[in-house]
Each structure stands twice: as structure tokens, then as C-alpha cells.
Amino acid sequence: MTRDEQLRQAAYAEMDEHKEIVERDPYRLRYHLMPPVGLLNDPNGFIQSRGVYHLYYQWMPFKTGHGAKFWGHYSSTDLVDWTHEEIALTPSEWYEKNGCYSGSAIEHDGNIHVFYTGNVKDEEGNRETYQCLAVSEDGVTFDKKGPVVHLPVGFTAHFRDPKVWKQDGTYYMVVGAQTTDLKGAVAIFRSENLADWTYSGILAGGGRGKLADFGYMFECPDLFPLDGEDVLIFSPQGLEAEGMKYRNVYQAGYVKGSFDPESTAFEHGDFEELDRGFDFYAPQTTLDDKGRRILYGWMSVPDQNEQNHPTIEYKWLHTMTLPRELKVVGDKVWQIPVGELTALRAEGVVEHRVTLMRENKELEGVRGKTVELQLDDIRIENGWLDLTISDGARLLYHQSDKVFTFERKSYVDGTVEKRQCTLNELKSMQIFIDTSSIEIFINGGEETFTSRFYPSPNLDRISFSASKKAEFRLKKWSLKRG
Ligand code: FRU
């Protein structure tokens, strides 16, 4: 048996052995993408090819921790119903023996080409990194071509997560990096044929420009045009918290500007976080055949109490976010849940016109663990409006302070912890709850809060309160899969 076959069999055996316990978990989500067993992290190789969306993912099948990652694989024609496919990549070769790390996909000559990082560590923990290519006719079975990019001078071996695209007939690759003087950076390469790559310099960071002093490592870069501008998404590590900003252990966000494909120069503005919640990292986008730039993120953050999640005793850990369409509105990149998600709604919307006067209310038919809530025409006369989800989470908008707060009961010690952002006006909220996850889209996508939370499994209450007078229109749907 080859090493690849051994690893596949071992992973499938792990899936079979723990299938029942994983499915028994009351915190198992109902309409999100999760690992069948073990740990899931970054979205990888997100692409639509011949009408099928492929979303690969970082997967550790053997434990709820990090290690020598596989590429798991989901496919879908509608971004709602997904099929769990065969394992795409196992860490079977010398150049990837400690993990087929994150990467991206591009279609070329009708085949899917994936570029990913081969992670190698020796006994002393010294790291090597190779950017590798694998090719597939059907998106399911891959033919590994081995390393195509070696580490350029000036960087440490923290050099990974290639994202590849084609522009004006040339291929480009951005790679997340750390310079030898320990600055976070994005490196850029070019190629005429996807096999031979030339290093073209530092695209952003690396001790220069607006990101000169901005952490010690950038992970998972993704550069793409959006609404007439160029957006670089990446996940910096090593930022200090600054007021309401950068509260998580690591961040995920973007800079916006203008990329010159000739010189590979990139003029850009300041960094903005993409999400304000507790659990959002390593997002990746693709352009689909409707011309939409769609993003998936990993609903967690590395090294942030990962081993305390209650799902670990059920042998699985972490999930993807819902798919979101990106748009530039004014100065910001907005995230809007894709329209296809309305297919999750079960028959029978519950509607209310709500007026709260210094009171706390539950509303007829508004409860549940897998629900979508839409609040429109929100009007708050002074004071605050709050929405409480059983004993797990609370959303609060303070009209006079202009601050939006998300609070949850910590899964580490049960205390209340919060994330916040300033918001000039709260007009609407679209909220997706899925047993132990919540995604809040404010004002149609201007701000988002993405978090795991763990309410008592027997509770499904949702209540609303206002300190003075607040009014809104509410719609509630129960959500189901398929
Ligand atoms: C981001 C990340 C990537 C790496 C992968 C390993 O979460 O650390 O930089 O490729 O995860 O699983």
C-alpha cells in the first residue's frame, strides 16, 4: 500500500469509528460545513468549475488539534447543499510530510490546478516550506506535481498559503510571509505557464509603507479586483489590541488600493478588520460565473482557546462561515450573505411589528436553535436595544454611544466577554443562528459579527428589550438543511 493509501484508509477509519458520537453532539451545526471528524481550519482551493463549487478545507482527521493537515473536500451546485467528497490531498510525500497546508485553485485547460504549501519539519522542529502544484480533471482525484516555488532569499520558512490568479494573460501568486527581520509580508510571483514562477518582490508589508510595523507574519493573502478597486485580504499575526480593534489573538482583514500588474506595485490604504466577532480567520474568495466575489472564512482563530470548545468531547472541532458576497460600499468592503441561503428557510415566516417601551419581550413564534432573523426599520429613541439568545449571547446597540456590542458566555470560564464596534446608526440586522454559531450582518453587510457560542442545549428562547422606546419590523424563519 502506498503512503497515500495508508493515510486515506486511516482517515476513513477515524470517520467511521466516530461518526455516531460526532452526530450526537447537541452543538453540531445544521447548515454549516464542518469536519466529519477531527479539526477543520482554513477554506482552501475555493473555485467554481463547470458549474460546481468546490470548497476544500484544512483537515486533521486524527485529533481535534493541529498537525499534518489533509485537504478535505466539499462540492455543491448551489452553495447550500454540499456533498462531502473523497479526500483531495494527504500529506504523503517528502515535501509535504508535515501537512498539505493552505492554498488555492485555478482552472487551466479544463483542469483544476491547486497550489498549496508543503510543510516539512525535522526532529529539531526546523521548518521547510514548498509551494506545490497538483492537477485534477474532476476536482476529486489529484495528480501531485511537487514543489514549483522554493523559498526566496529574505524570508523565514514561515512562507505559505499561495493564492493564484490570471490577469492580462499572466499568472500571479501571492504568498503569506515573514521577512528575516520578522515582519509580516505578502510576497508576489509571476508565471507564464503555472509551472515556472519568478519572484517579483514584496507586495505589501515587510517593513515598508502603511503596513511597515504590522505584526510578524501575514497568513492567507488573497488579492482581487472588486468594484473598480483592488482588495488584498490577509490574516496578520502579532498586532496589539487598540481600543475596540484587534481584540482576537490574530486578525483577518484587508487593505484597498490599486495594483499594477506590470510592476506588481500595490498602493493601498489602511488595514480594516473584516469581521468584529470572536471567530473569523483565514478567509478566501473566488469569482463565480455570476460575477460575484464570494468569501468563506474559518469560524475560529488559531491559538485562541481552541482546546476548550465543548465539541471536543464529541471528537470534532470548528466550522466554516456561511458564504458571503463582497461589495465595496463607500470606503469599506461589505459582506452580504449570498441570496441562495434563502433556500434554507422552512415554510412559514413569522412576522411582527414590534414596539418596546422600557420592557423585555418574547415574541409569539420567535424562538429556536436554527433560525434566521431579519430586523428592519429599526428606530431607537435614545437608550439601547438588546436581543438576548437564551443564556448564550446578547446583541446590544447603544444609540447615544453609537456602539454595537456582541456578548457571549465564555466557553472557557462562563464569564461574559464582548466584542464591539462603533456604528453611526443601526438600521437593520440579519442574524443566522445555528445551534452554536451566530453570524450577524448589520445594515445589509456594513459590519459583521461571527462567533461560536454555547447556550444550554435545552434552551431556545430569544428575547428583546429596550431601555426607552425602540421599534422594528421582524421576520423569523426556521432554517433546515436541504
Ligand atoms: C492559517 C494557517 C495557514 C496554514 C494552515 C495550516 O490558519 O496557519 O497559514 O497554511 O493554517 O493548517
Q: What's the pLDDT at 88?
A: 98
Average pLDDT over residues 306-327: 98
Strands (E), 261-331: 265-268, 272-273, 281-287, 293-298, 316-317, 324-329
Residue to probe by mutation, ligand 1, list 115, 156, 160, 301, most atoms within 8 Å of CB: 160
Q: What's the pLDDT at 482?
A: 44
Q: What's the pLDDT at 382?
A: 87
Average pLDDT over residues 244-267: 98
Q: How many CA atoms lie within 13 A of 65 on its CB side?
A: 4
Spatial distance between the Cα atoms of 88 and 83, rounded to a whole number of angstroms: 13
Q: What's the pLDDT at 282?
A: 98
Place of cell 523559498: 151
Judge if the beta carbon of residue 284 lies within 6 A of ligand 1: no
Spatial distance between the Cα atoms of 409 and 413, rounded to a whole number of angstroms: 8
For the chain, the first-to-last Cα distance in angstroms comes to 38
Judge if the beta carbon of residue 276 lies within 6 A of ligand 1: no
Cβ burial of 281 (10 Å; 0-12, 13-18, 19+) is buried
| 111 CA distance to ligand 1 middle (Å) | 25
The CATH topology of domain 350-478 is Jelly Rolls (2.60.120)
288 pLDDT band, cuts 50/70/90, is: very high
pLDDT exceeds cutoff 50 at 398: yes
Domain segments of the chain as ranges? 3-339, 350-478
Report the chain's mean pLDDT, rounded to a whole number. Answer: 97
Contact 101, 160 (CB under 8 A): yes
Residue to probe by mutation, ligand 1, list 114, 129, 220, most atoms within 8 Å of CB: 220
User: Tell me: the pLDDT tens digits for 189-222?
Assistant: 999 999 999 999 999 999 999 999 999 999 999 9
User: Tell me: the pLDDT tens digits for 422-437?
Assistant: 999 999 999 999 999 9
pLDDT exceeds cutoff 80 at 440: yes
Helix (H) or strand (E) holding 104: strand 100-108
164 pLDDT band, cuts 50/70/90, is: very high
Helix, strand, coil share of the chain (percent; to 5):
10, 55, 35
Q: What's the pLDDT at 351?
A: 98
Judge if the beta carbon of residue 58 lies within 6 A of ligand 1: yes
42 annotated active-site: yes
371 pLDDT band, cuts 50/70/90, is: very high
Classify domain 3-339 at the CATH superfamily level: Glycosyl hydrolase domain; family 43 (2.115.10.20)
Contacts of 242 by beta carbon, 8 Å cutoff, 6+ apart: none
Q: What's the pLDDT at 480?
A: 83
Spatial distance between the Cα atoms of 181 and 219, rounded to a whole number of angstroms: 17
Judge if the beta carbon of residue 69 lies within 6 A of ligand 1: yes
Q: What percent of the chain has pLDDT over 90?
A: 98
Spatial distance between the Cα atoms of 189 and 197, rounded to a whole number of angstroms: 6
Which atom of ligand 1 lies closest to the CA of 161?
A: 10
Contacts of 374 by beta carbon, 8 Å cutoff, 6+ apart: 428, 429, 430, 431, 474, 475, 476
Place of cell 499568472: 171
What is the number of other CB atoms lying within 10 angstroms of the CB of residue 436?
25
What is the three-class DSSP state of 106? strand
123 pLDDT band, cuts 50/70/90, is: confident
What is the three-class DSSP state of 109? coil
